[in-house]
Amino acid sequence: MSSDALWIRGGTVVTAESETPADLWIADGTIRAVGTPEALSAAGMPPGTPPLDAAGCLVFPGFIDPHVHAHLPLPATSARSTYANTSRAALYGGTTTIMDFAGSGLEPDLPTAWSAWRTAAEGQSSCDWHWHVTVTHWNARVRRHLERLVREEGVTSLKIYLAYKPTLAISDEDLYQVLMFANAFDLTVLCHCENAALVPALQRRLLIAGKTGPEWHEPSRPPMVEAEGVTRFLTFAAATGARPYVVHVSSREALDAAERFRGRVRDLRLETMIHYLLLDSTCTARPDFEGAKWVLSPPLRTPDDQAALWAALADGRIDTLATDHCPFDYEGQKTLGRGDFSKIPNGIGGVEERIELALTHGVLAKKLTARRLVEVASANPAKIFGLYPRKGTIAPGSDADLAIWDPAGERTIANATQHLGTDYNPYEGLPLRGHFRAVLLRGTPMVRDGRFTAPEGQGIRV
C-alpha cells in the first residue's frame, strides 16, 4: 500500500453533478472509492488507513485555472510571476492545476518558446500545469512545428491575440490559416479579442489631449473595441469551423456580441475573470497614480457589466472562471507608466484569491451554487482542454486533487498574509469567509491549516 493512502472522512463531496455526504479512499495518487465507510472497506480500503477529518467541510475537486501567466517575459519588463511563486500561491487558494501559455511573442520560434517554458516549469512548479501554445503569425515553419507539438507533446489548444502590435497581434490572413489548422487537428483556439489598430489610435488621442493618468486606460479600450474583436474572431471561426474560446470577457457588450454567434460556431466557449466580477473602473481612478495598480486589459468595467457577467456565469452562457494571473509590482513596474498610461504594465495577480473570493462573494452570496462553481472552475476547464475525468471531478480513477473547504471563520485579504510576494494585492481589504483546511495534489497534502506541508516542485505537465 502506498504511503500516500488516506481516508478523507466526514465531508460533503461537491462535483459539477452532485453535492453528497461521502468519504473518500485515496491511494497511489488516485481516488480509489467514494461513499460510506462501509463502501470504502468493501472496495478494499485497509483497516488503519490514516484519516483526514473533513467534518463540516465541502470537499471539492482540485480547482483548475485555465488562464495563468506563470512565466512571461515582456519587451519592457517581466511579470512578477514564476512557476515557484505562482504554483505555491495557487495551492494555498485551492487550485491544483494551472494553464499557462507557452510563448510570449518574443521568441524566434515555437521550439524555443516550448523549451523556455519547460525550463521555467520543470522542478519549479508545486502544482500540475498544462500549456496552450501562443501563435503570432503563420507560415510553413510554424505549421511544421505545431504539427510536431500536437503529435509528440499532446497540445490541445492554441492562443492568439487580436491586440498588442507588434509582438502579439495576428493579421486577419494568418488568423484564417491558424483557425483552418485548428479545425483540421481539432484544437481549441483561445483569443484575446481587442482591435489592435483602434487601441493605439485611441491611446494617442488621449495622450495628446493631456489625459495621461491610469484612469484613461479604460477609455482607450472601451467595450466596443472588445466587442469588435469578439465579432471578428467568431466570424472567422464560423468561416473555418474551428472551435473558439473567447478569453477574459469583461463587458456586457462583448458578451452580447458573442451570444449572436451561439449556434453558428462549433462549441463556443466564453471565459471571464474573478476581477471583472468584483472590481470596477473606479479602482483606476484612485488618486496619486495609485489607480495604476488595477490597469489590465481588457480593463475593469462598470457595475452593470459585473451584473451581466455574474448572470451569464450562473446560467451557463459563460463557461469558465479564471484569473489571467499576471502580477507586477507597483514600485518599479506599474510606475513605469507615470505620465503615460499606455506604458503601465497590464495585469494583476489572483491565482491565490480566485476560489475563496468566488466562494464568499458568489456561492455564499447566492449568485452561484457550489456545483456551478466546480463546473466553471474545475470540470469545464478539464473537459475543454482534454484533462477530464483525470482532473475536474471526484470519482474512482481520477487524480486525488482535492480542496477541502471549511466555511467557518472570517478574515480580510491582506498582501502581508498572501503568498505571491508582490508589493501590493489588488484585492486588499476584501472580506473572505471560510478557509481551506487542506489542499491535496495527487494524494499528497500540499497545504494543511494554512501551512505548506510538502516538498516544492512536485508538479508535472498534464
In tens, the pLDDT along 373-414 reads 999 999 999 999 999 999 999 999 999 999 999 999 999 999
Q: Is the pLDDT of residue 285 over 80?
A: yes
Domain extent, residue 30, equals: 6-60+395-407+434-452
In tens, the pLDDT along 20-58 reads 999 999 999 999 999 999 999 999 999 999 999 999 999
Q: Does 302 lie in the same domain as 261?
A: yes
In tens, the pLDDT along 117-146 reads 999 999 999 999 999 999 999 999 999 999
> Looking at the domain assignment, is residue 429 inside a domain?
no
Q: Does 446 lie in the same domain as 351?
A: no
Q: Does 141 lie in the same domain as 81?
A: yes
Domain harbouring 48, CATH code: 2.30.40.10
Listed in order, strand segments (DSSP E) in 202-341 are 243-246, 269-273, 320-322
Question: What would the grid cell of residue 137 be?
Answer: 503569425
Please report the pLDDT score of residue 160 as a whole number: 98
The phi-psi region of residue 366 (left if phi > 0; otherwise alpha if psi is between -120 and 50; otherwise beta) is left
For residues 157-165, give the mean pLDDT. Answer: 96
Q: How confident is the model at residue 206 (pLDDT cuts 50, 70, 90)?
A: very high
> Looking at the domain assignment, is residue 359 inside a domain?
yes
> Looking at the domain assignment, is residue 227 inside a domain?
yes
> Looking at the domain assignment, is residue 1 inside a domain?
no
Residue percentage of the chain with pLDDT more than 90: 98
For residues 297-304, give the mean pLDDT. Answer: 98
Q: Does 90 lie in the same domain as 50?
A: no
Q: Does 85 lie in the same domain as 54?
A: no
In 3D space, the residue among 395, 398, 392 whose CA is nearest the CA of residue 379 turns out to be 392
Distance of CA 20 to the CA centre of its chain: 27
Domain harbouring 262, CATH code: 3.20.20.140
C-alpha pair distances (Å), 87 with each of 152, 161, 230, 248: 25, 25, 31, 21
In tens, the pLDDT along 238-266 reads 999 999 999 999 999 999 999 999 999 99
Q: Does 380 lie in the same domain as 256?
A: yes
Please report the pLDDT score of residue 76 as a whole number: 87
Please report the pLDDT score of residue 102 as a whole number: 98
Q: Does 222 lie in the same domain as 193?
A: yes
**Residue 70 near residue 100, CB atoms below 8 Å:** yes
Q: Is the pLDDT of residue 3 over 70?
A: no
For residues 197-218, give the mean pLDDT. Answer: 98
Q: Is the pTM of this model over 0.95?
A: yes
Residue percentage of the chain with pLDDT more than 70: 99
Give the CA count within 13 Å in the CB-facing half-sphere of 21: 5
Q: Does 207 lie in the same domain as 155?
A: yes
Dihedral sign, CA of 178, 184, 185, 186?
positive
For residues 338-346, give the mean pLDDT. Answer: 97
Please report the pLDDT score of residue 1 as a whole number: 26
Q: Is the pLDDT of residue 2 over 50?
A: no
Q: Does 40 lie in the same domain as 101?
A: no
Q: Does 91 lie in the same domain as 170?
A: yes
Q: Which residue is listed with cell 466580477?
A: 277
Q: How confident is the model at residue 4 (pLDDT cuts 50, 70, 90)?
A: confident
Instruction: Please give the mean pLDDT across all residues of the chain.
Output: 97
Please report the pLDDT score of residue 217 as a whole number: 98
Stretch among 138-142, 166-170, 309-313 having the lowest mean pLDDT: 166-170
Q: How many domains does the chain have?
A: 2
> Looking at the domain assignment, is residue 95 inside a domain?
yes
Q: Does 403 lie in the same domain as 370?
A: no
> Looking at the domain assignment, is residue 94 inside a domain?
yes
> Looking at the domain assignment, is residue 237 inside a domain?
yes
C-alpha pair distances (Å), 312 with each of 270, 305, 357, 389, 406: 10, 11, 18, 25, 27
For residues 55-63, give the mean pLDDT. Answer: 98
Q: Does 337 lie in the same domain as 282?
A: yes
Q: Are strands 19-21 and 12-14 parallel, antiparallel or unpaired?
A: antiparallel
Q: Is the pLDDT of residue 159 over 70?
A: yes
Give the CA count within 13 Å in the CB-facing half-sphere of 118: 7
> Looking at the domain assignment, is residue 416 inside a domain?
no
